Structure 1
């Protein structure tokens, strides 16, 4: 098993070392805020403080469409939940889709989540009006606060509104001081990823990417205040 992990992780470690940054979503900004979660599906409800990172997926030049990312860490006393969303075609749930700007991005968790007795469920986030039309991270810095509507959808069902995320104006923070998000390590005990076989390779990929750029394990206590 260890040999397989090494084989799977090698490309991510090498790419991260060469870039000296995350393999994917290397260019990002941070924001603090809160989530308001409603509905029985969530493993916890109410107002939850969050740390968020907005980023460009491939890191291609500004002005060109890119897969935009919205990484959210929900802070709980029992441990954090790292929810990673990427711009996608929401009708398909899983097809990543480059966006020209933050205003037009529609985010999906891509990987679904299951409760103990429920169907696979995807998390979506749609930005409110007023976000920058460009996909430049610089356009977010010191701009207006950001707001998103959260919704949940099963494989065939319609998406249903299930909460809100409100973020203060994003701030530029050096890559080495940005938190490492990990959706496999930081996952509520009440949920599991679906399909379950995907959790193992994702764990290896994130671990290898951190190793390649000499990043520490995800540690919410060491996050910068922005």
Structure 2
């Protein structure tokens, strides 16, 4: 019964997000993305120290280095100095031809506010995945805190608990302005041991599908 209620609520919220996406798209010039219309793209590197206490997610438990494509953007695209929801999108290479996507947005950093979107005045605001992943140790969120203009400290936490270090992300090289990557954490799962909850998929998939459809239609 509880799962049914959660799924229904996620469906309703997903429809609301899809409607919002459609409304924002109507205000955009033809061909422009409804959300995160502009962004800075970088090639980067994520250095992971590994976890002193394994949690059953090799990407977190084991040390290593990942090639990462990074997009830094503002969700609505409001002009500076107006506040906007900051976005940080990561595409992590997981194999020769495979990769996983992570989407983070500006939020608070404590146990409650890390799940609340917050318009930010600048790029020094913390960001999180907002919604949790299913993991062997329970619902888990990923966060990022800017450490300078070219880097972020990535962390992970189970819901309601303290943050743990995940890795250091360095932006190594700007990519050409016409570089286009369609980040989608549903289609491109991040790592073994981290799964999207069904209700998270239901919440996101309608707005993502709407955004893709609107972009295709604007190119016709």
Q: How big is the alpha-carbon RMSD for the aligned residues of Structure 1 and Structure 2? A: 2.4
Classify 1:10/1:94 alpha carbon distance in 2 versus 1 (closer, same or farther; 3 Å): closer
SS of equivalent to 1:89: coil
1-structure distance, mates of 2:114, 2:185 = 17
Is 1:52 aligned with 2:73? no
2-structure distance, mates of 1:201, 1:22 = 20
TM-fit CA distance, 1:65: 1.3
SS of equivalent to 1:22: coil
* Equivalent position to 1:206, from 205, 208, 219: 208
1-structure distance, mates of 2:32, 2:19 = 15
- Using the size of structure 1 for normalisation, the TM-score is 0.75
SS of equivalent to 1:118: coil
- Using the size of structure 2 for normalisation, the TM-score is 0.77
2-structure distance, mates of 1:79, 1:16 = 30
Is 1:124 aligned with 2:143? yes
> What corresponds to 1:111 in structure 2?
131
Structure 1: runs of 5+ lacking an equivalent: 132-145, 216-226
1:58-104 CA-to-partner distances (Å, cap 9, x unmatched) read: 111111111110000001116211100011111122111122211x2
> What corresponds to 1:22 in structure 2?
33
> What corresponds to 2:155 in structure 1?
151
2-structure distance, mates of 1:31, 1:23 = 21
> What corresponds to 1:65 in structure 2?
83
1-structure distance, mates of 2:199, 2:81 = 36
TM-fit CA distance, 1:193: 2.1
> What corresponds to 2:108 in structure 1?
89
Classify 1:109/1:11 alpha carbon distance in 2 versus 1 (closer, same or farther; 3 Å): closer
1-structure distance, mates of 2:115, 2:19 = 25
Contact 1:34–1:49 (CA<8 Å) still a contact in 2?
Answer: yes
Classify 1:50/1:158 alpha carbon distance in 2 versus 1 (closer, same or farther; 3 Å): same
Structure 1 or 2: larger helix share? 2
Classify 1:24/1:156 alpha carbon distance in 2 versus 1 (closer, same or farther; 3 Å): same
